[in-house]
C-alpha cells in the first residue's frame, strides 16, 4: 500500500474524532450525547488499529480492542442505564448557547493546529497530524466539561478528553501496554466512582445539576 494512502486513512480517522468531538458540543439530549460518544470511541478504536497496522505494532491492537470494548460498548451502555435510572433521558440541557460553543470549539481546533504543527516540524507527518488532532480532542473535551451543567455530560467530556490522550499516545509510536491498560482501568475506576457519587448527589439533592451543589454550598456564583 502506498504511504500516501496510509497517511490519508490515518488522517481521516483522526479527523473524524475531532469532528465527532465537535458534534458532541451541540448534543443537547443525553441519550444522543452518549451515542455520539460511543461513535467517537469507535473512531478511536479504528484509528488505533490503523496505527497498529501502519506501524506494524501488534500491541496497539490490544489498545484498540480495549477502546472498542470498554469505551464504545461497555461505558455507553452503563451511562445509558445510569441516565435512564436517573430519569434524565428526556431532559434538554443548555448552559451556554450552541452557536458560541461551536465557534469556541472551532477556535480551539485552529489553536491546536497552529501550535502543534510548528512544534513537531521535525517528526514524521503522521505523528504531526495525529498530535494536532489529539490536542483538539482534549481541548474540546475540556470545553465540554466547562460549558455543561449536568454531571453526566461532564463525565462524558472527561472521557472524551481521555480519548484524545490515547490518540496522542498511539500517534507517538504507541505507549507501553502496561501504561495503556492502567490508564484504561483508571478511567474505568473514575467512571465507577463518579457514577456512585452521582447517585449519592441525586439522592441528597434530587438533581445532578452541579449548579445546585454550588447553591447548596452557598457559593457566590
Partner 1 sequence: MGGPLIAPLPGTLVSILALFALAALAVPLARTPLGRPLVYGASALISATAFVFGVQGMLGTPATLVLPLGVPWMGAHFSLDPLAGFFLCVINLGGAAASLYGIGYGRHEHAPQRVLPFFPAFLGAMSLVLVAADAYSFLFGWELMSLASWALVVAHDKSADNLKAGFVYIAMASFGTLALMLAFALLAGGGDLTFATLAHAPHGPLVGALVLALALLGAGSKAGLVPLHVWLPLAHPAAPSHVSALMSGVMTKVAVYGFIRIVFDLAGPPAWWWGIPVLAIGGISAVAGVLQALLQSDMKRVLAFSTIENIGIIFIGLGLALAFRGNGLMAAGALALTAGLFHVLNHALFKNLLFFGAGAVLNATGARDLEKLGGLIHRMPTTAVVMLVGAAAISALPPLNGFVSEWLTFQAILLSPALSPWGLKLLVPLVGALLALAAALAAACFVRLYGIAFLGRPRSEEAAQAVEVDRWSRGAMVGLATLCVLAGILPGPVLDALQNAVGPLMGARLPVQTDVAWLSIIPVGESRSSYNGLLVFVFMVLSAGLMALVIHRFASRALRRAPAWDCGFPNADPITQYSASSFGQPLRRVFARTLFSAREEVTMPPPGDSAPARIRLTERDPAWALLFTPLARAVEALAERSNILPYLTIRQYLGIVFATLVALLLVLAIWR
Taking CB under 8 A as the criterion, which residues in 190-209 touch partner 1?
none
Query: What are residue 150's phi and psi, to 5 degrees?
Result: -85, 135
The smaller minimum CB distance to partner 1, of residues 13 and 140, is found at 140
Tell the smallest beta-carbon distance from residue 111 to partner 1 (Å). 6
Taking CB under 8 A as the criterion, which residues in 52-111 touch partner 1?
95, 108, 111
Distance CA 171, CA 188 (A): 22
Tell the smallest beta-carbon distance from residue 89 to partner 1 (Å). 23
Taking CB under 8 A as the criterion, which residues in 130-169 touch partner 1?
139, 142-143, 145-146, 149
Helix (H, G, I), strand (E, B) or coil at 116: helix
**Binding of residue 210 to partner 1 (CB under 8 A):** yes
CA pseudo-torsion sign 182, 134, 21, 103? positive
Distance CA 141, CA 159 (A): 8
DSSP code for 90: T
The smaller minimum CB distance to partner 1, of residues 9 and 113, is found at 113
The smaller minimum CB distance to partner 1, of residues 20 and 108, is found at 108
Tell the smallest beta-carbon distance from residue 65 to partner 1 (Å). 31
Distance CA 218, CA 195 (A): 24
Distance CA 116, CA 96 (A): 28
Residues engaged in binding partner 1 (CB under 8 A): 95, 108, 111-112, 114-115, 118-119, 139, 142-143, 145-146, 149, 210-211, 213-214, 219-221
Amino acid at each position: 500500500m502506498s504511504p500516501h494512502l496510509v497517511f490519508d486513512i490515518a488522517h481521516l480517522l483522526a479527523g473524524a474524532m475531532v469532528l465527532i468531538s465537535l458534534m458532541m458540543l451541540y448534543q443537547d439530549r443525553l441519550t444522543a450525547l452518549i451515542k455520539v460518544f460511543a461513535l467517537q470511541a469507535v473512531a478511536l478504536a479504528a484509528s488505533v488499529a490503523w496505527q497498529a497496522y501502519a506501524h506494524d505494532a501488534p500491541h496497539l491492537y490490544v489498545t484498540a480492542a480495549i477502546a472498542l470494548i470498554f469505551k464504545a460498548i461497555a461505558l455507553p451502555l452503563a451511562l445509558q442505564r445510569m441516565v435512564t435510572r436517573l430519569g434524565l433521558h428526556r431532559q434538554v440541557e443548555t448552559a451556554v448557547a450552541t452557536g458560541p460553543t461551536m465557534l469556541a470549539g472551532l477556535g480551539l481546533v485552529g489553536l491546536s493546529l497552529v501550535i502543534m504543527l510548528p512544534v513537531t516540524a521535525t517528526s514524521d507527518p503522521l505523528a504531526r497530524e495525529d498530535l494536532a488532532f489529539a490536542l483538539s480532542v482534549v481541548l474540546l473535551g475540556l470545553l465540554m466539561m466547562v460549558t455543561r451543567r449536568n454531571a453526566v455530560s461532564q463525565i462524558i467530556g472527561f472521557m472524551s478528553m481521555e480519548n484524545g490522550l490515547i490518540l496522542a499516545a498511539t500517534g507517538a509510536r504507541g505507549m507501553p501496554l502496561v501504561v495503556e491498560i492502567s490508564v484504561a482501568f483508571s478511567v474505568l475506576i473514575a467512571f465507577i466512582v463518579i457514577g456512585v457519587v452521582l447517585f449519592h448527589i441525586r439522592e441528597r439533592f434530587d438533581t445532578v445539576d452541579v449548579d445546585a451543589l454550588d447553591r447548596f454550598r452557598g457559593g457566590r456564583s
